[in-house]
């Protein structure tokens, strides 16, 4: 029996055609970048999740190239809890984000935060030229490995090590900034370091945002329609926050005040999670089964505040809560506003980041919410 092996070039071409078909890849320039950059040079080994379990691939393994060019996130590093801390992001998400970039000029550099394996920096280097790309990661080992990957692919952007929340002041100002990790709020350094007329493309909460720098230091923009959640930012390479599952046992057995509430929305929908993450970036959200019923949990680790919501079939729920913060009451107004507005998608919402750090969420012309710091 003859085995037919598909080449990396053919698999890359198919990936690009699929991204175009799905609407993630639109412009000629970015199509050329995705066609030119060999993703396999950046992920010689990785783990990806199938329908049943994670699978690890190494260069030369059966199915390796097919996995490289699947529309999947490829995890390349894990922390002590088994949580991924570096990956080559899902190509569709990468395409959506780079397509949203709108640099202020053809000469200013573009800042790439979250270097990881270096694939995104390579795409940016192909599109803008290596001399206009600065990439930064908090982990020096990742930066060193990415440098090797980029050199093998023929690209030489400026690589730096540091906390992405600080931007990269030594090479500012930037025409645009892209961050491929999750954040709760836009750091002030990003707004300061991007030139007027340029933009910031980032994953905030469970949404993708494109913010344009305008007059008086305001950064304003609309969310993209796609819901997405990247791995969260790390201030140091060794920072390994406890994953959500860590809190499941304590939350299931916690005793607190009991209340009866009406649920404005179904909590397992994407948009309630999107809005909840925006309203409470410091709160861990999880679901669990308690006495054969699905329960939704909220935990604020620093204050030891928690909420356990057990929905019923009639639109009501039992709320058990404890700690100094009333976590459900904090997030409920955004959920009610979304329901009252007819349950619009994420791109109906706009965000304004003020020079004093205030984040203001807007829906239409009349509904505005000040997001807590």
Q: Residue 21: what pLDDT?
A: 97
CA-atom Rg of the chain in angstroms: 22
* Mean model confidence pLDDT for the chain: 93
Sheet holding 54-58, edge to edge: 54-58, 45-49, 74-78, 84-88
| Per-residue pLDDT band at 242 (split at 50, 70, 90) | confident
Q: Which range, of 15-29, 47-61, 206-220, averages the lowest pLDDT?
A: 47-61
CB-based contacts of 270, cutoff 8 Å, min separation 6: 206, 227
Q: How high is the pLDDT of residue 79?
A: 83
pLDDT score, position 1: 42
Q: pLDDT tier at 365 (50, 70, 90 boundaries)?
A: confident
pLDDT band, residue 231 (cuts 50/70/90): confident
State yes or no: pLDDT of 171 exceeds 70.
yes
At residue 291, the pLDDT reads: 83
Instruction: Among 98-102, 210-214, 362-366, name the one with the lowest average pLDDT.
Output: 362-366
Comparing 235 with 55, which gets the higher pLDDT? 55
Q: What is the dihedral of CA 213, 215, 217, 218, to 10 degrees?
A: -60
Per-residue pLDDT band at 4 (split at 50, 70, 90): low
Q: What is the pLDDT of residues 250-263, one digit of tens each?
A: 899 899 999 999 99
Torsion angle, CA of 127/111/203/370, rounded to 10 degrees?
-130
Instruction: Give tens-digit pLDDT for 325-342.
Output: 999 999 999 999 999 999
d(CA 44, CA 76): 9
| Phi, psi for residue 279 in degrees, rounded to 5 | -75, -25
Confidence at 206, pLDDT banded by 50, 70, 90 = very high
- Cis before 173 (ω within 30): yes
Reduced to 3 states (helix: H, G, I; strand: E, B; else coil), residue 336 is: helix
Domain architecture of the chain: domains with CATH? 8-227 (3.40.50.150), 246-340 (3.30.160)
How much of the chain exceeds pLDDT 90, in percent? 83
Q: Which of 287, 278, 257, 293 is nearest to 362 (CA)?
A: 278
- Give the pTM: 0.94
Pick the more confident residue, 353 or 240.
353
Q: For residue 157, what is the DSSP state? A: P
| 207-213 vs 194-204, strand pairing mode | antiparallel
State the pLDDT confidence band at 2, using cuts at 50, 70 and 90: very low
Residue (of 278, 276, 269) closest to 307 by Cα position: 276
Q: Mean pLDDT across the stretch 15-31? A: 97
CB atoms within 10 A of CB 257: 9
Distant-in-sequence, close-in-space partners of 66: CB < 8 Å, separation ≥ 6: 6, 11
Cα distance between residue 313 and residue 218, in whole Å: 44
Residues annotated as catalytic (active site), given as ranges? 89
Cβ(347)–Cβ(224) below 8 Å: yes
pLDDT digits (tens, 9 = 90+) for 175-189: 999 999 999 999 999
């Amino acid at each position: 029996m003859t085995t037919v092996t598909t080449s990396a070039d053919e698999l890359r071409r198919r990936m690009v055609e699929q991204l175009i078909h799905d609407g993630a890849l639109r412009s000629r320039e970015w199509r050329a970048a995705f066609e030119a950059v060999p993703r396999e040079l950046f992920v010689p080994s990785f783990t990806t999740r199938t329908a049943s379990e994670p699978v690890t691939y190494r260069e030369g393994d059966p199915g390796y190239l097919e996995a490289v060019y699947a529309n999947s996130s490829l995890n390349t590093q894990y922390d002590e809890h088994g949580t991924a801390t570096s990956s080559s992001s899902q190509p569709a998400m990468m395409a959506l984000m780079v397509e949203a970039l709108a640099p202020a000029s053809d000469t200013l550099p573009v800042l790439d935060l979250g270097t990881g394996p270096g694939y995104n920096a390579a795409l940016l280097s192909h599109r803008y030229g290596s001399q206009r790309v600065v990439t930064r990661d908090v982990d020096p080992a990742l930066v060193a490995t990415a440098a090797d990957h980029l050199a093998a692919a023929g690209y030489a952007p400026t690589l730096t090590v540091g906390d992405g929340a600080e931007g990269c002041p030594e090479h500012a100002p930037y025409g645009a900034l892209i961050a491929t990790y999750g954040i709760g709020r836009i750091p002030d350094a990003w707004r300061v370091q991007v030139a007027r007329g340029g933009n910031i493309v980032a994953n905030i909460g469970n949404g993708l945002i494109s913010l344009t720098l305008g007059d008086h230091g305001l950064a304003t923009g609309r969310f993209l329609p796609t819901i997405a959640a990247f791995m969260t930012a790390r201030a140091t390479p060794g920072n390994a926050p406890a994953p959500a599952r860590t809190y499941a046992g304590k939350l299931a057995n916690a005793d607190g005040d009991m209340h009866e509430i009406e649920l404005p929305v179904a909590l397992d929908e994407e948009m309630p999670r999107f809005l909840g993450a925006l309203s409470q970036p410091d709160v861990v959200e999880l679901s669990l089964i308690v006495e054969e019923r699905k329960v939704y949990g909220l935990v604020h680790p620093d204050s030891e505040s928690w909420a356990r919501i057990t929905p019923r079939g009639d639109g009501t729920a039992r709320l058990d809560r404890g700690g100094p913060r009333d976590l459900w009451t904090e997030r409920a107004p955004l959920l009610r506003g979304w329901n009252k507005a007819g349950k619009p998608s994420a791109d109906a919402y706009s965000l304004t980041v003020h020079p004093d750090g205030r984040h203001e969420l807007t829906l239409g012309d009349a509904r505005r919410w000040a997001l807590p710091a």
